[in-house]
């Protein structure tokens, strides 16, 4: 690359400096306060909290459980996600558009609602699947007890495979098909092309998706909370939660929880390093300047088999839990058999028209998630550009601060935000939506950066160089060449942030007050109050809204 | 270009680090700060209370300056099915244009939230209403509560001797069973019946990690049946036996009811009024007051000393404790602290329940909450 002119330097510095400033304000500063609080108690330096956390046997058990679940979920998600991405992206399977939309559905489900949906299906005695299984085979042993390690692994895999599915499907769409065609022309068979050309080309995306699934699994709170606690099965997030709960009368619980979250950092830090190692030096520029139809694999006589596989998976893993949520939401009393006389629309009526808090929560969540997704994608794509397209030395530090808030549980992000933005060191944002917005931006920055980076990695530098040679400055190059090329990736990234932010629970739960209630917390409160039917009705409404919103956005941006 | 950016980032980070490093350590300061703040609040409280006393004999409309339009915040663990109708009734009927807003969550979430707000600077709640009396005892010790007037219709046994809190309802932990799966004859009659192997894997209880009622019940039954082991491997005998019988620890009390009603569990420990509400809704569930006594809890109302609206807070509490307010609670299946009000149909009277109830060492819960929770966790999940 030739040396940039002076005025370009100032513009690029300004943009990068602004992005980094946002990162420092949103992430570095609150996180530093958090760590300071783990070693300074009563104005004195102490290692007491660390010793307490690192000498407890239960914490090591929780770490082992976290990694065990994390690895199995990553494997499960990667296999399911990559397979279906290939199936709907690169084969002549019929109804691909509809199948793709349906396969994305689990991503729209809040994981803790998913856990409850699966409880209605696989609860050892009253779950619909287990009941059907037991009466079919005349046994008292359930098919699968959802309140078990395997239950957790299965439910998490079902809700986290879309991370892999999205990134891999995106890569397959953008991949230069001439490479595959060249291999075919050279006489390679379908399987050989897949193995030697397609798979290596999408492997960075598979890896990126797998890491997102891993990070989602180890930082997930709702699923192990609802499915693991009954049997005393703890992971790090639920262990941190226990610290905060059991020391609830003092600040020490928050401090111990924050200290334990360092365990989680170790786990996710390892993942980041691993990614660097695994992908080290292997950069693929597979998005060329020309657009072409992707190469389609003909399934031939295997077509019905793959279609059946797809449909069975969709029915069992995706549609049944959603259907179960809607079914339960129509019941008059939980546990009643599904008969015409037991059905009612009252739960919906109550949530939509009787409760003003629910309406406020809906509005807040909408404002927060749109704002967070937009900020994250603007700042995130600039940071991603720094990470991917420059050789700046501090890149790894920037990357660390981006990944940090995503890899620790939302509860801890919330504590950090409370420490930083409640008037002791600056403005007091407590009780305002700004506080929650700051937490969302920090928490989801990693998703924005990662998705923008994945797209940027595939834009060949030659395109930018061409623009530069023709006299465009850095900003113009970014705006006119890079941004349009990565636009599908940015839109996907925007959705990747918007949807989890819309029904976020873990972070919000510590930050909301009555006027800043979010929809995730509203549903959780319903569940905690035992209004299971109202919670399912509300979930039904949310799913519908998210699904319709998703359709509209993809239509508009196509 | 690149090098300069690194510097920019480094300088930014350095500024952050140094400000933190040189600045005061955040946590301890706040905790220490609360003491003087409380003192000033107490002073404020003292002055305002005088006003209240002089104003009490006069009807509220005669003193519009004191009880003008006001908004107060209630933090409560009382389920929405009870607190929402009650608050709506108050908001509609009070003559002083007071609006009560509420934040509803499990007892421990309320405690966490107040703890957070203490660290942050100011508790947003004006009034709290939780299940476990040990928590307002803690708040009283920390000087965070404001004493208030209570009506004479409420017996002294439900009031804090210094007037810092007063119970607004009586809730009882007893036994519940699914009426589709368990007949009234074979249903458990007393606490030890839950240990019968015929319920193996089918017994449920709420977790003290979520529920204030559950920690009170833990303390009561722990003392009744004793503990074994020392230090970190100490456990409550009864709960260890429950664990050995495959007992399921769900989160809140409402979850126990839901799982018994759905048939996922056959029996369990449950709160009386929640079972009655579930029966009203048509759920196949029934409640049993244990022969050797229920765990009876007088669920307290308290006013935070930091409130800006002490008169409005007092007026809301007056409403809750009034004849009309308490009768309304009974309609919602809750037991009243006004002993003149008859309980819901088919339910023993409060004096009958209390006479037989298992004593609860609230002092110990207040002092040793964290230790109790760890002990519960050890006995339930870890003890060999």
Rounded-to-integer distance, Cα B135 and Cα B121, Å? 19
Confidence of residue B58 (pLDDT cuts 50, 70, 90): very low
* pLDDT at residue B276 in the model: 94
Nearest CA of chain A to the CA of B106: how many Å?
Answer: 7
For chain A, the average pLDDT equals: 81
CB contact under 8 A, A386 and B8: no
CB contact under 8 A, A424 and B30: yes
Contact between B266 and B177 under an 8 Å Cβ cutoff? The reply is: yes
* pLDDT at residue A557 in the model: 61
User: What are the distances in angstroms from CA A109 to CA A150, A184, A185?
Assistant: 20, 40, 43
Q: Where are the domains of chain B?
A: 32-55+67-170+298-344, 171-296+359-382
CB contact under 8 A, B250 and A530: no
Rounded-to-integer distance, Cα B138 and Cα B364, Å? 11
Rounded-to-integer distance, Cα B127 and Cα B307, Å? 8
- Is A426 in CB contact (< 8 Å) with chain B? no
Q: Decide if A68 is inside a domain.
A: yes
Q: Are residues A212 and A131 in the same domain?
A: yes
Q: Decide if A258 is inside a domain.
A: no
* pLDDT at residue B21 in the model: 35
CB contact under 8 A, A514 and B101: yes
Both structure tokens of B76: 């409560």
Question: Rg of chain A over CA atoms, in angstroms?
Answer: 24
From first CA to last CA, the distance across chain A in angstroms is: 33
- Give the other-Cβ count within 10 Å of A28's Cβ: 22
Compute the half-sphere exposure of residue A118: CA atoms within 13 Å on the CB side of its CA: 31
Name the DSSP letter for residue B249: E
- Nearest CB to A37: which of B27, B108, B281? B27
User: What are the distances in angstroms from CA A218 to CA A69, A273, A524?
Assistant: 8, 16, 21
CB contact under 8 A, A528 and B105: yes
For residue A38, what is the nearest residue in chain B, using CA coordinates?
A: B27
Q: Do domains B32-55+67-170+298-344 and B171-296+359-382 have the same CATH topology?
A: yes
pLDDT higher for A347 or B55? A347
Q: Decide if A263 is inside a domain.
A: no
User: What are the distances in angstroms from CA B359 to CA A399, A543, B64, B217, B240?
Assistant: 57, 48, 45, 10, 21
Q: Are residues A304 and A433 in the same domain?
A: no
Rounded-to-integer distance, Cα A436 and Cα A449, Å? 20
Name the DSSP letter for residue B299: E
* pLDDT at residue A366 in the model: 92
Nearest CA of chain B to the CA of A454: how many Å?
Answer: 22
**Mean pLDDT for the stretch of residues A79-105:** 88
* pLDDT at residue A298 in the model: 77
Phi, psi at B332, each rounded to 5°: -85, 15
pLDDT above 90 for B165: yes
Length of chain A, please?
Answer: 558
Rounded-to-integer distance, Cα A268 and Cα A407, Å? 6
Find the helix or strand (DSSP H, E) in which A364 lies.
helix A356-389
pLDDT higher for B2 or B23? B2
- Is A10 in CB contact (< 8 Å) with chain B? no
Between A142-146, A195-199, A245-249, A446-450, the lowest mean confidence (pLDDT) is in A245-249
CB < 8 Å from B in window 136-155 of A: 147
Rounded-to-integer distance, Cα A169 and Cα B189, Å? 60
* pLDDT at residue B27 in the model: 30
- Give the other-Cβ count within 10 Å of B85's Cβ: 14
Rounded-to-integer distance, Cα B71 and Cα B77, Å? 20
Length of chain B, please?
Answer: 384
Q: Decide if A268 is inside a domain.
A: no
Both structure tokens of B12: 């930014």
Longest dimension (CA), chain A: 80
Nearest CA of chain A to the CA of B312: how many Å?
Answer: 18
Rounded-to-integer distance, Cα A541 and Cα A527, Å? 15
Count of domains for chain A:
2
Q: Are residues A505 and A362 in the same domain?
A: yes
Rounded-to-integer distance, Cα B123 and Cα B34, Å? 11
**Mean pLDDT for the stretch of residues A197-201:** 82
Q: Are residues A206 and A75 in the same domain?
A: yes
Between A38-47, A285-294, A347-356, the lowest mean confidence (pLDDT) is in A285-294
Contact between B107 and B130 under an 8 Å Cβ cutoff? The reply is: yes
CB contact under 8 A, B1 and A9: yes
* pLDDT at residue A416 in the model: 84
Please give the share of chain B, as a percent, with pLDDT higher than 70. 82
* Residue A549, domain extent: 1-37+354-558
Please, where are the H alpha helices in B94-147?
Answer: 107-120, 134-141
Q: Are residues A388 and A511 in the same domain?
A: yes
pLDDT higher for B80 or A364? A364
CB contact under 8 A, B27 and A33: no
Count of A–B CB contacts within 8 Å? Answer: 206
Nearest CA of chain B to the CA of A407: how many Å?
Answer: 21
Compute the half-sphere exposure of residue A451: CA atoms within 13 Å on the CB side of its CA: 27
B32-55+67-170+298-344 topology per CATH: D-Maltodextrin-Binding Protein; domain 2 (3.40.190)
pLDDT in tens, A68-79: 999 999 999 999
Q: Are residues A323 and A371 in the same domain?
A: no
Please, where are the H alpha helices in chain B?
Answer: 2-22, 26-55, 80-93, 107-120, 134-141, 212-225, 237-244, 253-262, 272-280, 310-321, 323-331, 350-356, 362-377
The DSSP bridge pattern shows strands B267-271 and B285-288 to be unpaired
Q: Are residues A175 and A310 in the same domain?
A: yes
The question of ipTM being above 0.90 is answered as no
- Of A330, A365, A392, the last residue of a domain is A330
CB < 8 Å from A in window 217-246 of B: none
Rounded-to-integer distance, Cα A114 and Cα A523, Å? 13
Q: Decide if A469 is inside a domain.
A: yes
Rounded-to-integer distance, Cα A459 and Cα A320, Å? 40
* pLDDT at residue A269 in the model: 67
Highest average pLDDT, of A360-364, A402-406, B8-12, B171-175, comes from: B171-175
Q: Are residues A103 and A148 in the same domain?
A: yes
CB < 8 Å from A in window 113-172 of B: 113, 115-117, 119-121, 124, 138
Between A270-274, B169-173, B236-240, the lowest mean confidence (pLDDT) is in A270-274
Q: Are residues A20 and A119 in the same domain?
A: no
Q: Decide if A48 is inside a domain.
A: no
Contact between A502 and A487 under an 8 Å Cβ cutoff? The reply is: no
Rounded-to-integer distance, Cα B275 and Cα B281, Å? 10
Q: Assign 3-class secondary structure to A222-271.
A: HHHHHHHHHHCCCCHHHHHHHHHHHCCCCCHHHHHHHHHHHHHHHHHHHH
Both structure tokens of B32: 């220490």
pLDDT in tens, B230-284: 887 899 999 999 999 989 998 788 889 988 988 889 999 999 999 999 898 888 9
Rounded-to-integer distance, Cα A117 and Cα A524, Å? 14
CB < 8 Å from B in window 359-418 of A: 386, 390-394, 397-398, 418
- Is B210 in CB contact (< 8 Å) with chain A? yes
Which CATH number is A536's domain given? 1.10.3720.10
Between A188-197, A545-554, B318-327, the lowest mean confidence (pLDDT) is in A545-554
Angle at the Cα of A227 from the Cα atoms of B268 and A60, rounded to 5 degrees? 110
Rounded-to-integer distance, Cα A299 and Cα A304, Å? 9
CB contact under 8 A, B24 and A43: yes
Q: Are residues A31 and A74 in the same domain?
A: no
pLDDT in tens, A514-557: 788 898 888 887 877 677 888 888 888 888 887 787 777 777 66
* pLDDT at residue B35 in the model: 33
Nearest CA of chain A to the CA of B2: how many Å?
Answer: 5
B171-296+359-382 topology per CATH: D-Maltodextrin-Binding Protein; domain 2 (3.40.190)
């Amino acid at each position: 690359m030739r040396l940039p002119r002076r005025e370009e330097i100032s513009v690029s510095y300004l943009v990068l400096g602004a992005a980094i400033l946002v990162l420092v304000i949103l992430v570095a500063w609150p996180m530093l306060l958090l760590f300071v609080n783990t070693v300074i108690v009563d104005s004195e330096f102490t290692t007491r909290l660390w010793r307490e956390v690192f000498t407890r046997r239960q914490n090591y058990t929780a770490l082992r459980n976290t990694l065990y679940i994390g690895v199995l979920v990553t494997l499960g998600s990667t296999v399911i996600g990559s397979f279906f991405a290939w199936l709907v992206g690169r084969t002549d399977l019929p109804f691909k558009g509809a199948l793709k939309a349906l396969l994305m559905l689990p991503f729209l489900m809040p994981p803790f609602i998913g856990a409850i949906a699966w409880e209605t299906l696989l609860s050892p005695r009253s779950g619909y699947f287990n009941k059907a299984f037991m009466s079919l085979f005349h046994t008292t042993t359930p098919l699968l007890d959802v309140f078990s390690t395997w239950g957790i692994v299965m439910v998490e895999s079902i809700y986290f495979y879309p991370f892999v599915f999205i990134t891999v499907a995106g890569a397959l769409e953008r991949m230069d098909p001439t490479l595959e065609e060249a291999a075919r022309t050279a006489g390679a068979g379908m399987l050989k092309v897949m193995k030697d050309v397609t798979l290596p080309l999408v492997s960075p995306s598979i890896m990126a998706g797998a890491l997102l699934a891993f990070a989602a699994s180890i930082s997930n709170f709702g699923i192990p909370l609802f499915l693991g606690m009954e049997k005393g099965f703890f992971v790090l997030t639920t262990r941190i939660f226990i610290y905060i709960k059991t020391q609830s009368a003092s600040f020490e619980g928050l401090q111990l929880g924050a200290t334990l979250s360092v365990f989680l950092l170790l786990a996710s830090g390892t993942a980041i390093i691993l990614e660097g190692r695994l992908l080290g030096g292997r950069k693929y520029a597979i998005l060329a300047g020309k657009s072409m139809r992707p190469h389609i694999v003909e399934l031939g006589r295997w077509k019905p088999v793959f279609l059946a596989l797809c449909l069975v998976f969709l029915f069992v893993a995706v549609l049944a839990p959603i259907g179960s949520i809607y079914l339960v939401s129509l019941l008059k009393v939980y546990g009643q058999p599904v008969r015409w006389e037991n059905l009612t629309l009252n739960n919906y009526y109550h949530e939509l028209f009787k409760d003003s808090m629910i309406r406020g929560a809906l509005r807040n969540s909408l404002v927060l998630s749109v704002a967070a997704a937009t900020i994250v994608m603007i700042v995130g794509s600039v940071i991603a550009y720094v990470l991917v397209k420059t050789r700046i030395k501090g890149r790894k530090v920037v990357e660390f601060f981006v990944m940090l808030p995503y890899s620790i549980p939302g509860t801890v992000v919330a504590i950090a935000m409370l420490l930083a933005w409640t008037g002791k060191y600056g403005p007091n944002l407590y009780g305002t939506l700004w506080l929650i917005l700051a937490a969302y931006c920090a928490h989801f920055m990693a998703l924005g950066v990662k998705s923008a980076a994945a797209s940027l990695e595939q834009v060949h530098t030659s395109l930018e160089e061409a623009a530069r040679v023709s006299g465009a400055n850095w900003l113009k190059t970014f705006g006119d060449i890079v941004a349009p090329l990565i636009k599908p990736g940015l839109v996907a990234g925007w959705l990747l942030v918007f949807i989890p932010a819309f029904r976020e629970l873990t972070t919000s739960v510590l930050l909301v007050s009555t006027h800043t209630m979010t929809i995730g917390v509203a549903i959780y409160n319903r569940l905690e109050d035992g209004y299971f039917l109202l919670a399912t009705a509300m979930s039904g409404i949310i799913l519908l809204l998210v699904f319709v919103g998703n359709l509209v956005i993809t239509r508009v941006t196509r | 270009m690149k090098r300069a950016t690194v510097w920019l980032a480094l300088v930014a980070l350095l500024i952050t680090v140094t400000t933190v490093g040189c600045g005061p350590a955040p946590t301890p300061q706040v905790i220490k700060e609360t003491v003087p703040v409380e003192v000033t609040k107490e002073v404020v409280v003292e002055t305002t209370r005088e006003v209240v006393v002089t104003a009490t004999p006069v009807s509220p409309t005669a003193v519009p300056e004191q009880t003008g339009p006001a908004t107060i915040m209630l933090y409560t663990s009382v389920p929405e099915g009870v607190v929402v109708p009650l608050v709506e009734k108050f908001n509609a009927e009070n003559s002083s244009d007071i609006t009560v807003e509420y934040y509803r969550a499990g007892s421990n979430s309320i405690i966490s939230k107040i703890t957070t707000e203490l660290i942050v600077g100011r508790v947003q709640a004006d009034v709290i209403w939780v299940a476990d009396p040990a928590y307002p005892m803690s708040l009283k010790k920390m000087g965070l509560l404001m004493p208030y007037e209570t009506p004479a219709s409420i017996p002294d046994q439900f009031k804090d001797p210094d007037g810092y809190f007063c119970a607004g309802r009586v809730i009882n932990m007893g036994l519940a069973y699914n009426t589709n799966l368990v007949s009234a004859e074979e249903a458990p009659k007393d606490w030890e019946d839950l240990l019968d192997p015929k319920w193996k894997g089918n017994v449920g209880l709420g977790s003290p990690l979520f529920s204030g009622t559950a920690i009170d019940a833990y303390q009561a039954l722990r003392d009744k049946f004793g503990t074994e082991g020392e230090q970190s491997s100490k456990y409550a005998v009864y709960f260890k036996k429950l664990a050995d019988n495959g007992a399921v620890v769900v989160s809140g009390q409402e979850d126990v009811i839901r799982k018994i009603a759905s048939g996922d569990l056959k029996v369990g420990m449950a709160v009386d009024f929640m079972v009655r509400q579930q029966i009203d809704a048509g759920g196949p569930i029934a409640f049993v007051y244990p022969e050797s006594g229920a765990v009876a809890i007088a669920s307290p109302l308290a006013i935070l000393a930091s409130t800006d609206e002490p008169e409005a807070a007092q007026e809301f509490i007056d409403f809750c404790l009034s004849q009309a307010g308490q009768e309304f609670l009974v309609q919602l299946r809750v037991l009243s602290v006004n002993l003149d009000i008859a309980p819901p149909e088919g339910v023993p009277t409060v004096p009958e329940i209390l006479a037989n109830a298992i004593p609860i060492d609230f002092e110990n819960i207040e002092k040793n909450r964290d230790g109790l929770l760890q002990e519960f966790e050890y006995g339930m999940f870890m003890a060999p």
